[in-house]
Structures are given as structure tokens and as C-alpha cells.
Amino acid sequence: MATASSSFSACTLGRAMPSPKAVNGSIDSMCCYPNLFSIQSSLKSISLSADITLPRGLSNDEEIRKFSRRERIQCGALDVETMPSFLKGNKFQFDDVIEAQQFERDTLSAIFEVAREMEKIEKKSPGSQILKGYLMATLFYEPSTRTRLSFESAMKRLGGEVLTTENAREFSSAAKGETLEDTIRTVEGYSDIIVMRHFESGAARRAAATASIPVINAGDGPGQHPTQALLDVYTIEREIGKLDGIKVGLVGDLANGRTVRSLAYLLSKYQNVKLYFVSPEVVKMKDDIKDYLTSKGVEWEESADLMEVASKCDVVYQTRIQKERFGGKTELYEEARGKYIVDHDVLGAMQKHAVIMHPLPRLDEITVDVDADPRAAYFRQAKNGLYIRMAVLKLLLVGW
């Protein structure tokens, strides 16, 4: 084996980490993974502080070939000049979709373009066979309606097939004590891609580190929900017409809401974005998100006044207070529930071009009489989830 070494701060990587966006710059994410991006031209320059093991006969002057899915290296910031990897027919940069930090702005734009193609397929080519012969397994350890059905619909609309479990927490071998890793090793033998929702933060990363087929995180406890964030940003672009220079109010359960966490990560990719956090004291946005936004130069502000925030924002993103995240602390749930409600008064304060979004399901945090207002975008948002998930499945299984 040949080795190459040079100089940068290192971190240990696992299989399911995001690809580095390395065009004359540093990696945005904390970690990277060499087999998650395709190099279209020869390596121009590379700065590493750890030794990288290369295949026999290669040096860092030669074209770098794709490493095994199991390879792990010590890595940090790269300075690499490459051709864009999202050219038609090329492999997708990622083996898995685990967290929002994986995606850079240009990759998001390319994914959204694929989603627009998927919308045309859904409307005009119901017999698409793009994913014919592929099987998707859905492992949902928590309840789901929109996410699960939209993934299953996406797969079938592209000609693929679905293997599914009903409430895997109770009606799979998990109820017998089987480990997540053993379940994943078994299920990957039956399918080509796994879509998993789990009640534990970090479970999707564990699944991806175990599987040799793609894994999509469909929500891991209070952690992340990356495909929801993709569809949210896609919806904002469609509804508002831009992503730079927007103001977004995140309302409700910000401590436990995996959707708002993932959305905050993605919005940080755009210029002159400002986020407002409106929540009861017991479910305020956690410091890790605030610190991340600050490190990226994203302006954010906490407020207790929903009406004032609504008057300033292009998007009011309402969320449900999640009773299931409070455990037995019902008094804290009751303290948080019902404090911030989007109703006609809030609509009256909003700008004419602004929209209301919600990842759904809702309880009483948006009154039903708001539904008739054209600024109520949450059902359009849910529909956009189909196109984004069609795009993600297509990209992971057959590429650009």
C-alpha cells in the first residue's frame, strides 16, 4: 500500500458521514468520508495532517479512486479542485442520507432540479420504471403517516417495490430484544435501500455504519429529519421564490423538534438569512444549533412575541409541542402546549407574500380556519415531500 500525508486538523470518520464540498475551501461538516464524492478531474492539491492509505500503486499525484464503503480515515479540511459531481449519469455523492449538514448549496440546487423532474414524472408518466427491480425496506420504530407513505409512494411511482413493517418497535424482532445492528444486517439481505425512523437520536448513523446498502434517516428521535428539511427548503423556494435574504420564524417545540433542527442547518447555507426562535421556555432551541448558526455567520434572535415575529417573516414555520418527548412530565407539556397558536390574528399580522408551514401532524397550534388562506402552505409542503423523496431514492440508487 502507498501512503500520502500532509497537514490538517483530523477527525475520525465513519461510513455515513457527509461528503466534503472541497472546491478551494474547507469541509463544512465536522467529518467527511472519501467514498462519498466522485472526483471528475485529477487532484490539484490536498492538505492533510494524518496519513491516508491509498490503494496499492497510487500516489497522491494520480487520480483518486473510490474507496471501499468500509474504509475509515483520519480527515479534516481538503483543498481540492474538481469538476461538479452532479452531472447526468454520475453516482450520487452520498452513500446515505443521515443529516442535513451533508448538503452544500450547489448540491441542494441540483437535488431540487431532480425533484422538479420527479414532479413531471408523477403528473405525466405514472408508469415510470426508473427504479424497476429495486426493493425498499421501511423500518419505522415510531408512528408516521406522511413520511412513510410518501417514501412508499415515491418508490412505487418510480417502478420500485416496497417491503414494510408495521410499528417495528412492537411488531418486529426488536420486541424480542434484537439489536438494531442485527436487524439492519438482516434487512439489507432482503432489500436495496433502507428507510428508517427510530426513537433514539443517532440510531440512523448506527444503521448506516452497519449496512452495506444506502440508509435514509426518516427521523431519529429528537435528532434530525434530513429529507423533511430538504422538502421544507424546496417548498420555501417554490413559495417565496428565493432562499437568500429571507426571514424565517421557527415556532413551537424547538428543543425536541428534529424538523426545525435540520431546517436550521440547511438554511445556514444561504446568504443573509435571519432566524427567529419563538417557543415556550421549556422547549427553547438548544445551544448546539445556536452555536452552529453563529459559527456560520447566520443571524438569529429569540422572541416571546409571535405577532411581532410574524409581521417580519417570509415564513412562519409552526411545529407541534411533542407530548411523546416529555416522558412522564405532563405538567411541563401542559405548560408548553397552546402558548403559541397561528390563527386569523397572526395571519393579519403577516405580510401578503409570506407563508405558514408545518411539518404535520398538527393538533391545535394552527386553527383550521387558517387552512383556506392562500398563505397556508403546509399541505402543499406535504405534497412536495413526494417529489423530494422520489429524487432522493433515484439519486441514491441510480445516481444523477
What is the residue-wise DSSP string for 134-203? Answer: -EEEEEESS--SHHHHHHHHHHHHTT-EEEE-SSHHHHSGGGGT--HHHHHHHHTTT-SEEEEEESSTTH
Measured between alpha carbons, how far is 235 from 248 in angstroms, rounded to an integer?
A: 13
Q: Contact 94/36 with Cβ under 8 angstroms? A: yes
Find out whether the peptide bond into 143 is cis, omega within 30 degrees of 0. Answer: no
Q: Which three cell numbers stand for residue 124?
A: 405525466
Phi, psi of 242 (to 5 degrees): -160, 165
197 given a catalytic annotation: yes
Distance CA 349, CA 366 (A): 15
Written as one string, the DSSP assignment of 86-97 is -STTSPPS-S-B
Distance CA 191, CA 94 (A): 18
CA distance 167 to 138: 10
Annotated catalytic residue, options 15, 21, 197, 261:
197
Question: Which residue of the set 205, 225, 261, 269 is catalytic?
Answer: 225
Q: Which residue in the list 82, 107, 138, 147 is annotated as catalytic?
A: 147
Give CA–CA dist 321/324, Å, rounded: 9
DSSP states along 222-268: TS--HHHHHHHHHHHHHHHS-STT-EEEEES-TTT-HHHHHHHHHHT
How many residues does the structure list for the chain?
400
Per the CB < 8 A criterion, the answer to whether 230 and 102 are in contact is: no
Cell of 392: 432522493
- Identity of the amino acid at 90: N
Between CA 264 and CA 267 the distance in angstroms is 5
CA distance linking residue 155 with residue 162, whole number of Å: 7
Q: Are 313 and 249 in contact (CB under 8 A)?
A: yes
Q: How many CA atoms lie within 13 A of 208 on its CB side?
A: 27
- The single residue of 88, 123, 124, 176 carrying the catalytic annotation is 176
Averaged over successive runs of 10 residues, the pLDDT of the chain (400 residues) comes to 35 35 33 35 33 42 39 37 67 95 95 96 88 96 88 97 75 65 95 95 95 96 91 98 98 88 95 96 91 96 96 96 67 73 96 96 93 97 97 97
Residue type, 231: L
pLDDT (0 to 100) of residue 23: 28
Give the number of other Cβ atoms within 10 Å of residue 365's Cβ.
20
Task: Kindly calculate the radius of gyration of the chain based on its CA atoms and give it in whole angstroms.
Answer: 21
* CA 379 from centroid of its chain's CA atoms: 19
- pTM comes to 0.77
Residue in 183, 181, 190, 142 with CA at minimum distance from that of residue 163: 190
* 225 vs 99: CA distance, rounded Å: 7
How far from 308 is each of 84, 247, 280, 339, 350, CA to CA, in Å?
42, 13, 16, 15, 9
312 is catalytic: no
Is residue 380 part of the annotated active site? The answer reads: no
From the candidates 146, 284, 312, 375, give the one annotated as an active-site residue: 146
- Residue 173: what pLDDT? 56
